[in-house]
């Protein structure tokens, strides 16, 4: 063999090795089975396998469309792969959540009503105008379920991060159609009986989101106090003794006159 041939072979082998060393990571980190050696990650792949998106491969979400998308993915995948070989998966070396470009390959942002019909969620305002990424809200979409065992966004996220009544509205009806008002509330004597239920049932699930919701109303003058109430409250007081005290802060108020 001439020296020149030897050099050519050498260069060829080096290129082949380099190609394998570069391709292997890019292919590997897009395989569900690659992660199964790590128990915690295996579970996240199991969730993908039973999610609505199980019919789609990893590449559909994790590699943004176009050559640019592929190259920027590869540039991250190669060092990530070797870092994972050395120290296992860490926050720093795992794939990042997909950007909205990937999602928008298949979904539009024009949705504003949820399929259940109760929630109003104008996607264009959030994604188009505010520029929020889909996964900020849909992080439990594929690889995990939320506390409630759903893959849908939770109310806590909306109300804690943005809809705190200051940055954005916290009014129930801005997001929910009236459906969230439970049937109990629609009974005629609700204002009279709700106090009894307050002890036994979980009112806080819905009402804790509005600070002082109960107390604010108990400070207001109720509809019953009409006409010559100062003089005519006797019969009401006999019928609803307890109900008076909740707003009047104890019997001291009554004793002032009686
Ligand atoms: C429908 C889109 C979608 C598909 C398909 C998808 N993922 Fe994901 N992936 C996400 C989202 C969204 C996140 C970020 C949310 C999170 O961390 O739970 C994520 C996060 C990850 C992470 C970061 C670490 C982690 O566990 O959060 C890894 C690794 C990952 N995906 C690997 C994969 C692999 C491998 C596949 C193919 C089996 C895959 N993904 C398929 C959407 C997808
Ligand atoms: C390759 C196409 C494709 C990509 C990419 C994709 N989806 Fe989907 N997605 C679908 C299909 C198909 C369905 C099922 C049909 C439906 O419910 O509209 C679906 C369903 C959904 C649902 C409702 C069902 C569920 O599991 O809750 C949500 C929410 C969703 N996708 C959000 C996203 C987000 C966020 C991303 C980006 C991280 C994304 N999708 C990426 C095709 C895709
Ligand atoms: C500000 C938070 C937020 C952002 C950002 C957001 N979504 Fe949503 N999305 C929601 C909520 C809340 C629902 C209603 C979930 C429900 O029905 O319980 C929803 C519903 C959906 C649904 C219908 C779910 C179903 O069950 O069929 C799809 C599909 C969807 N979003 C896709 C996307 C995509 C794609 C993006 C990014 C382009 C995106 N969303 C960005 C909050 C958001
Ligand atoms: C910024 C939008 C938004 C506002 C404001 C809002 N919600 Fe929600 N709510 C949601 C979303 C998103 C979910 C989750 C939907 C799902 O689980 O399908 C939800 C879920 C719920 C649920 C069922 C699940 C749970 O977390 O218990 C109840 C009950 C509820 N909301 C009541 C209320 C009440 C009462 C108010 C007013 C104090 C309110 N919501 C205000 C967005 C909102
Ligand atoms: C719309 C105004 C309003 C709101 C909001 C309100 N209340 Fe009341 N509450 C009343 C009135 C009026 C009474 C007196 C009813 C009666 O005639 O006995 C009352 C009475 C009560 C009583 C005493 C009842 C009894 O018979 O012992 C309790 C306890 C009570 N409320 C708890 C609550 C709690 C807890 C909340 C918040 C989840 C709440 N209330 C929200 C108006 C309100
Ligand atoms: C599923 C959510 C939910 C639960 C649980 C819930 N509420 Fe409500 N409640 C609402 C909504 C929504 C309204 C209407 C709020 C508004 O208009 O601002 C409301 C209004 C009220 C009102 C005022 C009614 C009026 O006529 O103005 C009272 C009183 C009340 N709730 C007491 C309670 C008590 C007591 C409990 C526990 C036994 C409870 N709620 C549990 C959602 C809920
Ligand atoms: C502003 C002074 C005032 C306050 C405060 C007051 N009352 Fe009275 N109350 C009266 C007057 C005046 C009458 C009418 C007496 C009459 O007609 O003989 C009356 C009548 C009554 C009667 C009927 C007495 C009877 O013998 O028929 C009852 C019961 C009663 N009040 C209960 C209460 C309770 C309970 C409270 C506290 C929640 C209260 N009152 C607070 C002034 C007051
Ligand atoms: C939802 C809260 C609430 C409930 C329940 C309530 N009150 Fe009051 N009451 C008020 C408020 C607010 C005032 C206005 C006076 C004040 O500033 O304290 C008032 C004033 C009064 C007054 C003073 C006279 C007047 O007209 O200002 C009397 C007497 C009175 N209430 C008796 C009663 C009696 C008796 C009951 C039970 C049948 C009752 N209240 C139930 C909130 C309530």
Q: How confident is the model over 146-195, as pLDDT tens digits?
A: 888 888 999 999 999 999 989 999 989 899 987 788 888 999 889 888 98
As a whole number of Å, the end-to-end CA separation of the chain is: 120
Pocket of ligand 5 contains residue 246 by CB under 6 Å:
yes
Question: How many Å apart are CA 78 and CA 83, to the nearest integer?
Answer: 9
Pocket of ligand 7 contains residue 92 by CB under 6 Å:
no
The residue among 109 and 103 whose pLDDT is bigger is: 103
If you search the block for the tokens 């559909």, which residue do you land on?
A: 60
Q: Which of 155, 124, 154 is nearest to 139 (CA)?
A: 154
Q: For residue 216, which ligand has an atom nearest its CA? A: 5
Tell me what pLDDT residue 7 has: 93
Are 40 and 144 in contact, with CB atoms under 8 Å apart? no
Tell me what pLDDT residue 180 has: 80
Tell me: the pLDDT tens digits for 120-140?
999 999 999 999 999 999 999
Tell me what pLDDT residue 198 has: 86
């Amino acid at each position: 063999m001439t020296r020149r041939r030897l050099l050519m072979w050498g260069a060829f082998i080096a290129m082949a090795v380099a190609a394998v060393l570069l391709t292997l990571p890019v292919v590997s980190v897009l395989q569900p089975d690659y992660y199964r050696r790590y128990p915690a990650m295996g579970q996240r792949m199991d969730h993908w396998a039973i999610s609505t998106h199980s019919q789609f491969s990893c590449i559909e979400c994790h590699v943004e469309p176009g050559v640019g998308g592929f190259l920027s993915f590869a540039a991250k995948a190669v060092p990530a792969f070797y870092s994972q070989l050395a120290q296992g998966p860490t926050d720093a070396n795992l794939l990042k959540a997909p950007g909205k470009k990937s999602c928008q390959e298949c979904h539009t942002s024009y949705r504003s009503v949820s399929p259940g019909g109760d929630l109003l969620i104008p996607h264009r305002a959030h994604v188009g105008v505010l520029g929020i990424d889909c996964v900020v809200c849909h992080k439990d979409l594929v690889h995990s379920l939320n506390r409630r065992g759903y893959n849908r966004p939770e109310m806590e996220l909306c109300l804690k991060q943005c809809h705190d009544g200051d940055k954005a509205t916290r009014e129930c009806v801005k997001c929910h159609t009236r459906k969230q008002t439970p049937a109990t509330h629609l009974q005629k004597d609700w204002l009279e009986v709700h106090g009894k239920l307050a002890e036994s049932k979980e009112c806080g699930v819905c009402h804790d989101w509005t600070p002082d919701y109960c107390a604010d109303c108990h400070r207001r003058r109720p509809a019953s106090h009409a006409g010559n109430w100062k003089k005519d409250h006797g019969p009401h007081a006999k019928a609803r003794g307890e109900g008076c005290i909740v707003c009047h802060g104890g019997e001291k108020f009554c004793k002032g006159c009686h």
